Amino acid sequence: MPSLSHRELTHLGMDVHKDSISVGILRPDEEAPDVERIFNDEASVRRLLARFADHRVLSVCYEAGPTGYELHRLLTSMGIRCQVIAPSLIPRSAGDRVKTDKRDCRKLARLHRAGELVAIRVPTREEEAVRDLCRARADMVEDLDRARKRLGAFLLRHGEVWRGGSAWTLKHEAWLRARHFEDTAMAATFSHYRAVVEERSANLDAVEADLAVHYAGPLFAESVARLSAYRGVARMGALTLSAEVCDWRRFGRASAFMGFTGLVPSEYSSGGRTQRGRITKSGNLHLRTQLVESAWAYQHGPSVGVELRRRQEGLPPETVARAWAAQARLCGKFRRLAQKKNSKNVVATAVARELCGFLWAEMTA
């Protein structure tokens, strides 16, 4: 069968929810899609698609969302072309104030036939599994941070203030163990808060132990090794970056990768006026968080410590040279911007954006 053009296909736009799927069916000789509503399970999807004799003339799309990629995997296993669409890049009319499932699925079908939608890369099951484990670790880091703040706030309310340097060190832990309260209820509160912190810490250690086996696994071993050659990108951070991006070459330019992270400044340009604002934050949150965290390592002068030297052992000289060039440039940029800006958070964000470019260049070299 000869390949069909985009307008010769039957386009199905699916608005997917937990219990239902609204399907807009746009046939080649029609301009207005028909709409059907089915239950969201495999049997219902198969019954709908069985009505089309030739699956090669079907082209299906749906928005990325909380229902994940199982529908995409089902459709591709049936030999049906399917794209998962980036929701933030769907064209929207400024005057459109009505949103329903029927309108959404019709709109998806029409825009898909017009070629106006941007598809995302669907990870394999193995890639998604490691990515979910990395995101579970990020959730546990947040939980531990909240538990520590609650404990610190409780102590502050009762005049117990730690002034011995950095918190949550061995010295700080010894100070915590020495705290005692005469009142029974207050002592119980302190005990419960400490127990929660210890539990969260143990959970974090457990998930990091599970992640450690993937450093040298077949999926991400090479990318973890190369990324961890860069200052501020430890193996855990390198695995997070690798699991979130997977295929670095799908970004044709460094600027495209920066846009994917949401670290590029917003812009409004019209006529002869150009106005730039804060970063868009419209990209991958987990990726952006890791990059900003890594950028803080460049606030001091260039150097290669024991840990970084160990991570660079056995790597190609070209990778080590690129990592040093990145460090020399980013440390200088952090220092120069810190002299001009009042907020170091702004500086770290700017450095993270440029770090994106270096990491993209490394993984596409």
pLDDT tens digits for range 192-231 = 999 999 999 999 999 999 999 999 999 999 999 999 999 9
Q: How far apart are CA 307 and CA 154, in angstroms?
A: 36
Q: How many domains does the chain have?
A: 3
- pLDDT per residue over 132-162, tens digit each? 999 999 999 999 999 999 999 999 999 999 9
Same domain, 247 and 349: yes
The reply to whether 1 falls in a domain is: no
Retrieve residue 238's tokens. Answer: 């390198």
SS3 state of residue 74: helix
What percentage of the chain has pLDDT greater than the value 70?
A: 98
**pLDDT number for residue 65:** 95
The reply to whether 120 falls in a domain is: no
The reply to whether 226 falls in a domain is: yes
Check which CATH number belongs to the domain holding 43 and give it.
3.30.420.110
State the residue range of the domain holding 317: 221-363
**pLDDT number for residue 299:** 96
* Angle in degrees, 0-180, between the axes of helices 235-245 and 285-295, rounded to the nearest 10: 150
The reply to whether 110 falls in a domain is: yes
- pLDDT per residue over 44-92, tens digit each? 999 999 999 999 999 999 999 999 999 999 999 999 999 999 998 999 9
Same domain, 281 and 326: yes
The dihedral of CA 101, 105, 106, 107: what is its sign? positive
- Domain end among 157, 179, 212: 212
Residues 6+ apart with CB under 8 A from 292: 348, 349, 352
DSSP strand pairing (58-63 vs 81-85): parallel
List Cα–Cα distances, 42 to 21, 37, 48, 73, 75, in angstroms. Answer: 11, 14, 10, 11, 10
Same domain, 76 and 131: no
- Domain end among 60, 95, 114: 114
Same domain, 108 and 131: no
Find, among 23, 139, 14, 138, the residue nearest to 65 by Cα.
Answer: 14
Same domain, 147 and 103: no
The answer on pLDDT for 275 being more than 80 is yes
- Domain end among 66, 87, 114: 114
Residue 37 pairs in a beta bridge with: 22
**Where does the chain have alpha helices with state H?**
42-50, 70-77, 101-114, 125-157, 170-177, 184-212, 221-227, 235-245, 254-261, 285-295, 306-312, 317-340, 344-363
Same domain, 193 and 270: no
Retrieve residue 302's tokens. Answer: 């260039």
Find, among 344, 259, 257, 265, the residue nearest to 297 by Cα.
Answer: 344
Same domain, 182 and 79: no
The reply to whether 104 falls in a domain is: yes
Same domain, 324 and 195: no
The reply to whether 192 falls in a domain is: yes
Same domain, 227 and 354: yes
Same domain, 135 and 76: no
